[in-house]
Chains A and B, each alone.
Chain A
Amino acid sequence: MNHEREGRDKAIGCERVREHLPLRLSGVHPSGASEVPDADLDAHLADCAECTDELAFLELLSASRPSPPAHLAARVVARALGSRPLASGPAGVDDPDVVPFRASRRAPQWSRWWANPAAAAAVLVLAVGMGLVARGGTPGQDGGTVLAAFDAQSAELWAEDWLVAGAPYLDGVSDETLALLVAGIDP
């Protein structure tokens, strides 16, 4: 549409450049197709003080980018994993061994120590250190106990989602995912 030339020879106009400057910011991942090629942006920026200025301002703005709380991902993963078995093979809620979600069902007695986050964290750290966390094969009671400790403050969520489904299935879970779950423990 309108290409601001400002007396200089620019392949693309300022407006189009500015539209795409956010994608140049660190930590922002471009999402769409048909974005302006980097070379064109560079060429424009080398020649346009206004757009360079704008980019600097956007960098300043982007430094204020709010981040989600550290426990968010861990809680989501824990709830999602607890809501259905995640195992090798097509096991689903139809699996006869899996009790489907039922919020009214009571959590087992050992869940009471969740009330103490420090104790929960300690148990988890200990258990991870001892390699008790169930990964692969059929997780036993130890695995279930340990995994339930990932987020002591989400005791209700666990009771709601995870425990009613029986022992969690975490076949082949990577260290990264476990680390994510561990990160959900509030200090």
Chain B
Amino acid sequence: MTLTSRFPEDDDRILVAGARDGDADALAELVQRHQGVLFRFLLARTGDEDQAADLAQDALVKALRSLPQFRGDSSFRTWLLAIARNEMLGRHRKEGRRKEQGLETGMEVADDRPAPGQALETQGEVDRVRRLMDRLPEKQRLSVWLRLYDGLSFREVAEATDSTEGAARVNYFHGIRKLREWADESRT
């Protein structure tokens, strides 16, 4: 459900300005528009739906409360993903965990080993694909998800994953290639 009658689909600036001025509809539409990419970004990072939803909620609320500080240098989506990233790191730190494991800039090598006991043929197609996605290294999974599921530009992917545009592109292609190989293997 979107309020497309009132707001142009491709322009967040009107929504941001509206939400900042106290327009509840604009605020709701902004949330509707970006909750998906935010949730998926956090799910790709955490691998846990509850945790991703929880973090997404906090990041969105924080972003909406900070709208007066949003200068529009980047897109609202990029800004939101940056807030989510900080939110996640903050929580990791709080929980005394190691931060940003395996998230250095650059490419990653995929794990080629088949997951133990994986009987892909018996899974539903969607289930099957999700399992394959889970096998990708985090940066490849993030690049594939953000580009494939939400149509982010590679520049945006790079900003969201703290890497370079070139690395984001390579991670996307490597991820897709791996997925195809695994999918072919599981069919034969």
Residues of chain A having any CB pair with chain B under 8 Å: 15, 18-19, 22-23, 25, 28-32, 54, 57-58, 60-69, 72-73, 75-77, 79-81, 83-91, 169-174, 176-177, 179-180, 183
Contacts and interface: CB of A to CB of B under 8 A. Distances in A.
Contact of A86 (B22, B40, B53, B126): B22
B158 interface: no
A22 B1 contact: no
Given A18-B173, A81-B24, A75 B57 contact: yes
Contacts of A176: 1-3, 25, 28
A86 B3 contact: no
Given A65-B40, A176-B3, A22 B28 contact: no
A79 B35 CA distance: 14
B61 A83 contact: yes
Given A66-B49, A176-B1, A76 B65 contact: no
Interface of B: 1-3, 6, 9-10, 21-25, 27-28, 31-32, 35-36, 38-40, 43, 49, 53, 56-57, 60-61, 64-65, 75, 77, 125-126, 129-130, 133, 144, 147-156, 169, 172-173, 176, 179-180, 183
B53 A79 contact: no
Given A18-B173, A60-B129, A68-B35, A173 B151 contact: no
A72 B37 CA distance: 13
Contacts, number: 148
A170 B148 CA distance: 37
Chain B at the A interface: SS class: helix
12 contacts: A15-B173, A18-B173, A60-B129, A66-B43, A68-B35, A76-B60, A77-B27, A77-B28, A91-B22, A174-B25, A176-B2, A183-B1
A85 B21 CA distance: 10
B60 to A, nearest CB: 4
Contacts of B38: 68
A117 to B, nearest CB: 18
